[in-house]
Every structure is written in structure tokens, then in C-alpha cells.
């Protein structure tokens, strides 16, 4: 009974406190949110479960990823409390900001917007934390040099967003060696085909297809590559957009590998657009119908197929 009450509490309050984080760096709002985040983190200790979804809550993450990350870092060995996150936009809403502020991890963030990265310098909290940033459009040719510029090795957490499969394939893990790997997957691609959008250095999802749904890779494709690099799938967030992998040598009774069928979540958020770039709120299988005929890469055969 207590376990169920706590699960509901974490889920509900996690949604409520994700208020206007996008629109403000107000110190008072941040102080309240961080205090609530500490409470939610401590409440996790009362839950007896190995399902990462039972620990979800959001403080600065878009969905429940903050809670999942707190559970993982508490239950696996982390050699260095460091993170790298790609594609953070303004960093108002991200998967590592709570790690930075609550757990005092050191971090390196990147985004293609020079303005967004420069604005971080002017935030009232910036001097309190060990955060560095770089404005860069990440591609296969520059990703390893960008990562090396962070100075990190044996990383605690790596979050890749954008051209996901191709960037992951290119990264040299020999020194980076992250404990936790977070990858965005495209739920619309389903949980059976091992497919990704073909690589394009200048890939931009809205330009690639007006629907805004043609991007990234399927969960099976990411799992295929992560396994080859020594990582095991431990779950996906309930929102159905981020997958979580842990280095295989760090798995234990609290953090276990699960199957794609167990992990996969169908996304319910509605971000589809029409040719005028207006939201259409299409959901379910109708989203796939918008992409019929689009080219995808079979990551096993390396051949182009069609949706």
C-alpha cells in the first residue's frame, strides 16, 4: 500500500512542479524546485522496485528523466561525477541540469545555437557550478574532437540528442567509457524494425519532412548498436522518447537488462505539423501513415528501405 501511495505521489508532484521552467531562471522558483527534487529523490528510497519507471519525476527534464537518473546514479558505480549532453538548446529544460544543481556534478553541454550557449554565462547560478559549454553543430566528423575538448574520461553520463544512431556509431568509447548512456528514440518507428533516418550532416527534422516526425532511430536500432559498444538496455521513460542504457559490467540486482518489448513505450505527445508548420495533434498509428514511403536505413544490412 505504502509503495503504491509513494509511486502516485512521485508521479503527480513531479508533473506539478515542472511549471514554467522554460520561461524563467527565477532564483526563488529554482530554489523551490530543487528543494522538492531533494524530497522526491529521498522518497525513492522507500520504493522497492527495479522498474525505473517507478522512480520517475521531473524537475528540469522534459519528462520523468530526472527521477530515473537519480535512481541509476544511486544504484550503479559512478567513477567520475561528470556528464556530457548534446543539443541542450537554452538549457532551461534538460536531463543534466538537476544533476548539476542537485548532485553537484561537473558538466559539458553543446548546442548549435551560439546565442543559447553565450546566455548561460549570464545566468545568476552559473558561477556556482562546474559547467562548460560550446556552440557547435555536432556531426560524425567533429563529435570526437568536441568530446575530447571537455577533458572528461570515464564519464558518468552521456546524453546524445540529434542524428542519434550515426553519432553514437562514430563516438570513440575507449576513453569516454560512460557509465550511463541516454539516447532519444523515435517511437513512431515502432519496436520491431532496426531502422534510422539516413545520415545527413545538416539533418534538420522539420526540413526533412514537414510532419516533424521523421527523425532519429528506432529503439531496436539503438539497442543493436549500444549492445555492440558494451551497453545494456535498462528501460525507457514513460513518455516514450528517451532510452536508458548502462555499461554491462555495472549491471546488478537493482539495475538489470530488460528486453525491447519490456522497455518500449509508445509516445503519446502530439508534435506533428502540417505543411504550414501548424500543429495537427495527430497521434497513434496515424503518425506512421504520414511517413509512408520515406527512406530509412536498415542498420543491420546497411541498405536503404522505405517506411
- Tell me the pLDDT tens digit for each residue of 4-46: 545 555 455 544 444 333 444 677 888 999 999 999 999 999 9
Spatial separation of the C-alpha atoms in residues 36 and 122, rounded to whole Å = 25
99-125 per-position pLDDT tens digit: 999 999 999 999 999 999 999 999 989
State the pLDDT confidence band at 204, using cuts at 50, 70 and 90: confident
Q: Burial of 276 by CB count in 10 Å (0-12 exposed, 13-18 middle, 19+ buried)?
A: exposed
HSE at residue 85, side-chain half, CA atoms within 13 A, is 25
Model pLDDT for residues 75-105, shown as the tens digit of each residue: 999 999 999 999 999 999 999 999 999 999 9
181 sits in which H/E element: strand 180-184
Cell of 213: 516526425
Summarize pLDDT for 134-184 with one digit per residue, the tens: 999 999 999 999 999 999 999 999 999 867 899 999 999 999 999 999 999
DSSP secondary structure code for residue 62 in this structure: S
* pLDDT value at 202 more than 90: no
Residue tagged 545555437 (cell numbers) = 113
Q: 84 pairs with which residues across the strands?
A: 108, 158
Amino acid at each position: 500500500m505504502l509503495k503504491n501511495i509513494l509511486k502516485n505521489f512521485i508521479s503527480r508532484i513531479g508533473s506539478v512542479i515542472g511549471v514554467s521552467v522554460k520561461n524563467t531562471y527565477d532564483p526563488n522558483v529554482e530554489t523551490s524546485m530543487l528543494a522538492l527534487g531533494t524530497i522526491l529523490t529521498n522518497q525513492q528510497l522507500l520504493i522497492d522496485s527495479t522498474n525505473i519507471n517507478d522512480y520517475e519525476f521531473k524537475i528540469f527534464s522534459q519528462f520523468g528523466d530526472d527521477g530515473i537518473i537519480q535512481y541509476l546514479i544511486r544504484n550503479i558505480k559512478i567513477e567520475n561525477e561528470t556528464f556530457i549532453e548534446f543539443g541542450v538548446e537554452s538549457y532551461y529544460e534538460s536531463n543534466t541540469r538537476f544533476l548539476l544543481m542537485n548532485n553537484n556534478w561537473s558538466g559539458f553541454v553543446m548546442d548549435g545555437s551560439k546565442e543559447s550557449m553565450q546566455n548561460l554565462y549570464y545566468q545568476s547560478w552559473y558561477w556556482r557550478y562546474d559547467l562548460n559549454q560550446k556552440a557547435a553543430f555536432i556531426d560524425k566528423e567533429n563529435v570526437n574532437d568536441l568530446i575530447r575538448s571537455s577533458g572528461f574520461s570515464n564519464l558518468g553520463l552521456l546524453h546524445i540528442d540529434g542524428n542519434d544512431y550515426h553519432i553514437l556509431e562514430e563516438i570513440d568509447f575507449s576513453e569516454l567509457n560512460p557509465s550511463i548512456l541516454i539516447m532519444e528514440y523515435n517511437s513512431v518507428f515502432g519496436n520491431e524494425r532496426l531502422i534510422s533516418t539516413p545520415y545527413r550532416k545538416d539533418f534538420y527534422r522539420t526540413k526533412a519532412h514537414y510532419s516533424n516526425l521523421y527523425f532519429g532511430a528506432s529503439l531496436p536500432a539503438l539497442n543493436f548498436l549500444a549492445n555492440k559498444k558494451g551497453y545494456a538496455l535498462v528501460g525507457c521513460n514513460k513518455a516514450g522518447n528517451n532510452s536508458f542504457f548502462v555499461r554491462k559490467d555495472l549491471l546488478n540486482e537493482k539495475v538489470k537488462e530488460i528486453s525491447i518489448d519490456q522497455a518500449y513505450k509508445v509516445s503519446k505527445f502530439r508534435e506533428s505539423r502540417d505543411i504550414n508548420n501548424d500543429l495537427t495533434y495527430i497521434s497513434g498509428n496515424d503518425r506512421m501513415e504520414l511517413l509512408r514511403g520515406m527512406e530509412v536505413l536498415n542498420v543491420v544490412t546497411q541498405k536503404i528501405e522505405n517506411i
